[in-house]
Structure formats: C-alpha cells, structure tokens
Amino acid sequence: MTTLRALWEVSLALCLLAMLALLLLLLARVLSARLFDRTSAARQRLLPLLLDGDPTELEPLRKGEIQAAADLTVEIAEMTRGSEREALLARATALGVTDLLIARLRSRKAQSRLDAVEALSLFEGSHDYVIGALDDRNPDVRLGAALALAQHANAPAPIDIVNKLNVGAEENSLLLVSLMVDLAETNSEAVAGLLFEQDLSHRVKVAAMDALSQRGGEYAPLLAYMARDSGNEPELQPRIFRALGRTGHPAGADAIMEGMASDNWTVRAAAAEAVGKTRLVAAADRLSTLLNDPHYWVRYRASEALLRIGTRGVSVLREASRSEDPVVRSAALKMLAEGRA
Amino acid sequence: MTLEFAIPDPAEWMVASAEAIALVVIVAGLLQIVFYFVLLLYAGAALGTRPPVPRSATLWRRYSDQAPAISVLAPAFNEELTIVESTRSLLALQYPDFEVIVINDGSKDGTLARLVSEFGLEQVDRFVDRSVEHAPIRGFYASPRLPRLLVVDKENGGKADALNAGINCSRTALFCAIDADSILESDALLRVVRPFIDEPDLTIAAGGTIRIANGCKVDSGRISDIKLPRNFLALVQIVEYLRAFLMARVGLGKMQALTVISGAFGLFRRRQVVEVGGYSHGTVGEDMELVLKLHRLMREAKQDYRIDFIAEPVCWTECPDTLSVLGRQRARWQRGALECFVKHKDMLFNPRYGRIGIVGFGHILLVDVLGPLLEVLGYILVPLLWALGPLALPWLLAFLAVTFMFGVSLSIATLVLEEIQLRRFPKVRELAVLAVIAVLENFGYRQLSNLWRLQGWWQFIRKQQSWGTMTRKGFATN
C-alpha cells in the first residue's frame, strides 16, 4: 500500500515540479521580451555607426551593445561585398566586435562557437583564431572553420585540414566536396596529391575527385585511371564515373567503355551517364545494347545518353524504336518522345 | 483418508481479483509512463547535443552546392479547391535541385483540369520505372515553362498507390513524400536533407516535424502569421503533436528506433524504398509500414543505416476540429498501427532486429496494442471496484497517478523542452494557453481518445479497410 501511495505522491510532486519549471520559463520569456526591445533599440542606434564614418573615430562599445553590434555586423556582411564590406568590418573591429567573437570561441555552446568562427573568418586579422578552431572538440565547428578557411588564399595545406577533421571516423559529410572545391581553387595540385595518400579515408579521395572533376579536363586522365583501378569497390566506382563524366573530356573514353560492361548495374548506369556528359559518339552502339538491361536506371541513362550525343545517338534510338524487343522499343520510343517535348 | 478442499472466502477472492486487475492496469500504465520519461530524456539529450544549426542565410550558402536532388511527391485526390495554391507553394521551395511530381489519383472533381489550365500544361510522354506496383497511369502533363513540375494522372488506387506511381516517375536519389494539402516551410527541404549530407552512406530516411496550421494565417501558400486556434480540439491536438514529435519521435530517433515517419512529410532514399517494394497496398498505416520494411531490409542485410528525425524542418497541416472527423482519424491511425504490428510481429523482441525489435516494437506493443485496451478497462473497473469496496483507496490513487497526474507532468515537461530548445511559440500567452490545455486534456479528451482507439481495434478485428473522409475546411487566407 505504501508503494501505491508513493506513486500518487511522486506523480503529484512531478506535476508540481513541471508546472513550476514552466512558470519560471514563462517569467524568463517576459523578461527576455523586455531585453529584446532594448536590443532592437540598440540595433537601430548602431546601424548608422556601422554603415558610415571613419573607423579611427569610433570607440569600443559597452558590453550590452557589443553583442547587438556583432550580430548586426554578420547580417550586413552577408549582404555586402568588396570595399563596402571591408569598410564595415573595419568599423566593427573598431567597435570591439572581433574581441567579442574571439571570446565566443570559448563558449560552451557549439552553436555559438560555430557562429563565431564563421563571423571571424570575414575579418582579415583573425586568421589564426579560425585556424585554432580546427582543433575544436565539436566536428561541426571544425568543419565550419575548414570551410571558412578554404575560401582564403592562405588556407592551410589540404592534408593538414583533412587530418584535423578526422575524416572517415568523425566526419563523413558531403560538404567535404565543397571544401575540396574551394581548396582546389588555390591549390589544385595539393588536392590532387590527396589521391596518392595511402592512409587517407576514401571519403577524402572521392571528395577530391569530385572537386577536381569540376576543373574541366585537366584531371580527366587521372580520374580515368582511378575509375579503372576501383573495380573492386562497387560503392566508390559509380561516383568516380560520374566525376569523370563531369570533366566532359574524352580522355576517359576507354575507362567509360569498360564501365558499361561492369557486372554491377550502378557502375553501368554511371558509365552510361558519363557517356552522355562527355558526348562520346563512339559509345553509341555500346549504349544501344544497354537498352535492354534488366535495370531501369541503366536503360534510362543509356537512352538519355543516346539523346545527348546528338545525331548518331538519335539514329540509334530510332532504330531501337523499331526493335522487336518491347523493353528496347519502349525505352527508345519514350526517350525520343521526351527529346521532342 | 479424507479429502479436504480449501474453499476460498468469496470476499477475499473478490478483493484479490480486483487487486490483480488494478495491478495489471497500473503496471501497464506505469511502464508507459517510464518509457515516455526515458523518451523525454533522450529527446532532451538529442536536442541539447544536436549539430549546430546554421542561420537561414547561411543554410543555402553552405548546403546548396552539395544538396542531392529531390523529387517532391504530392498525391492529390479531389483537391480542386486547393491544388493550384499548394503546387505554387511547392514550386517556390528554397532548394537548389528539385522536381515536384503531383499525382492526380483518379480525382472525380476538376483537380487535373485546374492544374492543366493554371500552369499551361500539355500532355507529354515520360520514360518511367516500373519497379513498384500501382494502378495504371493515364498520362503525364508538363510545360517547358515549368521544368520542375510534372503532373501524373492515374487511376484511383489510394495514397500509397499514388506515392508508388510518384516513386516510379521520380529520377532522383531522394524523394520527399508529402500531403498535397500541407504547407512546407520554404527551407524545410534544406533542413530535412541534412542527415543525407552529414551521413550520405548511412541515412536512408528522415522525418520532420508536423505542426498544426489551424488558426494561422496563410498568404500565397505560406504561413504568414502563427496563431493558436480557438477550437478546443485543435488546441489539444497541438499539445498532442508536440508530445508525438518533440518527445516521441526525437527521442526514438536518438535511440535509432523510429518506427514511423509521418506520411505528411518524410524524405527517403529511393533505392531502398524500391527494394522493399515501395508503399504497401491494403493498409491504412502505409507510412509506418514503409519504415518498418526499411528497418527489416537493412537489419536482414546486416547493413549499417540511419533513420533520423529532425525537429527543425516544419510541415504545416490542417487538423480535424470536429469530434466526428477526429474520431474517424484516430480510429484509422489505431487500425494502421495494429495492421503494421501484426504484419511484422516476428520482429517483436527479436534480437535479430536489434533495438527496433526491442525498443521500437516494445513501444508499439505497449502504447498502441495494449495501451487503449488496458486504460479503458481501468477507467471502468478501478473506480467501480473502489466504489463497491473490494479496492482500497491507494489503488484508486495509484490509478489516477498513472492516468492523470503523470500525463499532466509529461505534457508540461514537453512544453518546457519546447520552450528551452525551440521556442516556436512567439507569444508568452500562447505558451500559457497550451499549459492550461496540457492539464485539461487529461480530463475528458484523453478518455474519449481511448474510446476512438478502441473503435480502431474493433475495425481492425472486423478487417474494415475504408479510410473514412477527412473533411478539410481549407487554410484561412489573408
């Protein structure tokens, strides 16, 4: 009986506790609404200071206002470019915004640290602090710092950045591709060098390949080599073929032709897609044999590629549209109709 | 030698029986409560440790280059009044690479005609997959002016059937299943795609939050002013949805034991969905069943995977505000859960299915299968037995604790979590109103809800398959 009574009493206590907590939060909300009014007023006062005037005439703000100034700076910086942004950042530095952002790097909240890193990367003199954030305990903050650094010419070496990110163990994000694209803008050789690092996660290498493929045909022979060499990695190979296709360069022709004969349907589909993107007319006949592939995606990519490669491809599709095989006929007819639409 | 039988005293026997009944009801209720509190803790941990969320301004800059293409599948049946505005709202989503596939599921009204005339569509042909089953497609409609839009006209087959047609017509690695009459926030796709960007090799599905739009102002297919409804039933459902999404789904997602992604808003990897045969026909719980099939597929193939729930992306929907429509909806949900449970009962407590068999199915058994039966039994018997004498007062108090008091504290605790982590209600007054509703709903509404769920049980036993009708009033517009 005492247990049953205790259950009732515990439920009452929990109920009261929850209500008390909510009451406190309601009170906190009322107070924060007042604070919000004060912040809005501070923003209105600070806006002209940030947008106009000589930075040397500005003095650091008081603690209460500087937070509003930091938020305002980031918001305006995202909307401005060039000299206008530089002048804004100079005024913000004079007002003490960078000091606040540096202090925020020590916040317990990962969200605050990430916001601070992204904001600090806008300021020329804060490079070392952003590099320091590559050692942050939170992987998202580290990635944010890496992405911010990669947009600057004086970014650390790609191998150092990927080592800090602990790719494969802690970091698997597709944003690695964005990182590699930005790093390749200033140092494509170093990004290509990642492909030959033996101990590096395959995720880094795939991201590097995706990034290099966006630089046109320059790295097509290297990607073609990688595509052939990755035959025993069915998850990886389709992505390399797609990267090879993106280069639009004929250097990958042999590798692509081999890819279309793969036992793995995802590789066949990716290779067929690459044919369309590189407009490999010589592959038209090989593509026509894929029109009766058991997998829809292979049939679709093959018929789409035939349409993309132009006259020769269209004539192969027309011929296939008269095929006795209903699967081939349907694929060809539908794609021809889509091409006309 | 004499045989002696101990004949029990009838009074003692009655007391023992009454206590046994009360014990079963209380223990089952207590297990539910403990499970809910564990979920609340997990939800708190998940929200407290969730990855930093970029501001809306940085979201696009950061994710737009790598965000995978998405097909948004919007099944529509007899929605001529709202379909044009809904489609416009979908076409205006902020996402770098997406197509909107509206599937007209054999509507008997002018849904297709409205789409064709409003968007200047023409009949086209399209090379589509036939991997998953659905009723025959009658035609495709598109316009070169709107390359993102494809309208599929098919024979009627129900929502699951329409979604299957959409899956076959989609040409992207991911598809987002929504209700055509719901409203996605403009950055919802950018937010819900995050698990697919963060863990591209593991994530196969992700769900987002559904919020109730009753009372809100809608302008050009967007929520322009968030307000609470005045209707009591709609207010109660706001608290219910908060509990369901903020506590249960976030918590289960953290445990990697999510058993349902709402049919109104879910993002899926097409390849795995095709492998499990798409949405199942002949069930009203097709959204839950799809997630269970995905778990089964990945567990049986011994592949690592993730099915996540993200609290930030929001889809707004209109909820029923009359007892009759709400009752039909709840009975249908109950029936759907029971159908899924029975179909996949071999997964229950089966170590082969890991945490989904133990936690996920344990949750369904406790909450959806046994929950309404035992709770209604308790409502009838415990007060009656106490009034007649066999049960002492502490039994009644313990029953009230598990059915009312813990329920109130859970609902309030969910509101506390909402306020600390998300702060979606702009005004203090709204939060206060919801706190009052969180208390009131336990007295009357909760009991009624259990009766509807019993009705669902009855329909399940009778193998009744109809969906019933959801009478929508349409969003209030400026």
- Per-residue confidence in pLDDT tens, chain B, 478 aa: 555 566 668 778 888 888 899 999 999 999 999 999 999 999 999 988 887 766 666 778 788 889 999 999 999 999 998 899 899 999 999 999 999 999 999 999 999 999 999 999 999 999 999 999 999 999 999 999 999 999 999 999 999 999 999 999 999 999 999 998 889 999 999 999 999 999 999 999 999 999 999 999 888 788 888 899 999 999 999 999 999 998 999 999 999 999 999 999 999 999 999 999 999 998 889 999 999 999 999 999 999 999 999 998 899 999 999 999 999 999 999 999 999 999 999 999 999 999 999 999 999 999 999 999 999 999 999 999 999 888 899 999 999 999 899 999 999 999 999 888 888 888 889 999 999 999 999 999 999 999 999 999 999 998 865 555 555 555 544 4
A333 inside domain: yes
Q: Decide if A175 and B405 are in contact by the 8 Å CB cutoff.
A: no
Return the DSSP state at B106.
Answer: S
Q: Decide if A22 and B415 are in contact by the 8 Å CB cutoff.
A: yes
A239 inside domain: yes
Nearest CA to B213 out of B314, B80, B74 is that of B314
Q: Which residue of A has its CA nearest to B420?
A: A25
A302 inside domain: yes
The whole domain housing A262 covers 217-341
Helices A63-77 & A97-104 angle (0-180, nearest 10): 90
Asked if A12 reaches chain B (Cβ–Cβ under 8 Å), the answer is yes
The pLDDT value given to residue A275: 96
Chain A, chain B: beta-carbon pairs less than 8 Å apart: 142
Q: Decide if B197 and A341 are in contact by the 8 Å CB cutoff.
A: no
Secondary structure of B15-73 in HEC code, one letter for each residue: HHHHHHHHHHHHHHHHHHHHHHHHHHHHHHHHHHCCCCCCCHHHHHHHHCCCCCCEEEE
Asked if A270 reaches chain B (Cβ–Cβ under 8 Å), the answer is no
Domain boundaries, chain B: 18-48+353-461, 66-347
Residue A264, pLDDT above cutoff 70: yes
Q: Decide if A334 and B26 are in contact by the 8 Å CB cutoff.
A: no
Query: Using one digit for the tens of pLDDT, what is the confidence trace for A13-56?
Result: 999 999 999 999 999 988 888 888 888 888 999 999 898 888 88
Query: Using one digit for the tens of pLDDT, what is the confidence trace for A304-317?
Result: 999 999 999 999 99
**Do residues B169 and B151 lie in contact, with contact meaning Cβ atoms separated by under 8 Å?**
no
Q: Decide if A181 and B130 are in contact by the 8 Å CB cutoff.
A: no
The pLDDT value given to residue B469: 54
Nearest to B416 among A22, A118, A178 (CB): A22
A163 inside domain: no
Instruction: Read off the tokens for B229.
Output: 């409804």
Q: Which residues of B touch A140 (CB under 8 A)?
A: 51-52
Query: Using one digit for the tens of pLDDT, what is the confidence trace for A122-134?
Result: 998 899 999 999 9
A119 inside domain: no
A79 vs B238, more confident: B238
Distances from the Cα of B350 to the Cα of A220, B31, B80, B362, angstroms: 50, 20, 47, 10
B50 vs A12, more confident: A12
Q: How many domains does chain A have?
A: 1
Asked if A185 reaches chain B (Cβ–Cβ under 8 Å), the answer is no
Instruction: Read off the tokens for A24.
Output: 């406190």
Asked if A8 reaches chain B (Cβ–Cβ under 8 Å), the answer is yes
Query: To the nearest whole angstrom, how far is the Cα of A249 from the nearest Cα of chain B?
Result: 22
Q: Decide if B428 and A173 are in contact by the 8 Å CB cutoff.
A: no
Q: Decide if A22 and B26 are in contact by the 8 Å CB cutoff.
A: no
Asked if A99 reaches chain B (Cβ–Cβ under 8 Å), the answer is no
Torsion of CA B317, B321, B324, B326, to 10 degrees: 40
Q: Which residues of B touch A8 (CB under 8 A)?
A: 394, 397-398, 400-401, 405
**Do residues B167 and B175 lie in contact, with contact meaning Cβ atoms separated by under 8 Å?**
yes
Distances from the Cα of A1 to the Cα of A7, A17, B394, B442, angstroms: 10, 24, 6, 25
Residue A105, pLDDT above cutoff 90: yes
Nearest to A334 among B126, B395, B401 (CB): B126
Query: To the nearest whole angstrom, how far is the Cα of A250 from the nearest Cα of chain B?
Result: 25
Tell me the CATH class for B66-347.
alpha beta
The pLDDT value given to residue A235: 81
The pLDDT value given to residue B110: 94
Nearest CA to A114 out of A96, A135, A133 is that of A133
Interface test with A, best of B26, B32, B127 (most A CBs within 10 A): B127
The set of residues, in sequence order, having a beta carbon less than 8 Å from that of B27 and lying 6+ positions away, is: none
ipTM: 0.89
The pLDDT value given to residue B478: 40
The pLDDT value given to residue A319: 96
Burial A306-315 (b: 16+ CB within 10 A, else e): bbbbeeebbe
For residues A49 and B475, give the distance between their C-alpha atoms in angstroms, rounded to a whole number.
Answer: 44
What CATH number does residue A271 fall under? 1.25.10.10
**Do residues B212 and B238 lie in contact, with contact meaning Cβ atoms separated by under 8 Å?**
yes
Q: Which residue of A has its CA nearest to B403?
A: A11
Interface test with B, best of A173, A239, A308 (most B CBs within 10 A): A173
A92 vs B18, more confident: A92
The rounded Cα B437 to chain-centroid distance in angstroms is 21
Residues 216..255 of A with a Cβ closer than 8 Å to B: which?
Answer: 235
For residues A100 and A117, give the distance between their C-alpha atoms in angstroms, rounded to a whole number.
Answer: 12
Query: To the nearest whole angstrom, how far is the Cα of A229 from the nearest Cα of chain B?
Result: 21
Query: To the nearest whole angstrom, how far is the Cα of B121 from the nearest Cα of chain A?
Result: 12
Burial B216-230 (b: 16+ CB within 10 A, else e): bebeebebeebbbbe
Task: Give the three-state DSSP class for B142.
Answer: strand
For residues A264 and A282, give the distance between their C-alpha atoms in angstroms, rounded to a whole number.
Answer: 22
Asked if A170 reaches chain B (Cβ–Cβ under 8 Å), the answer is no
A22 inside domain: no
Nearest to B66 among A78, A177, A297 (CB): A177
Residue A338, pLDDT above cutoff 80: yes
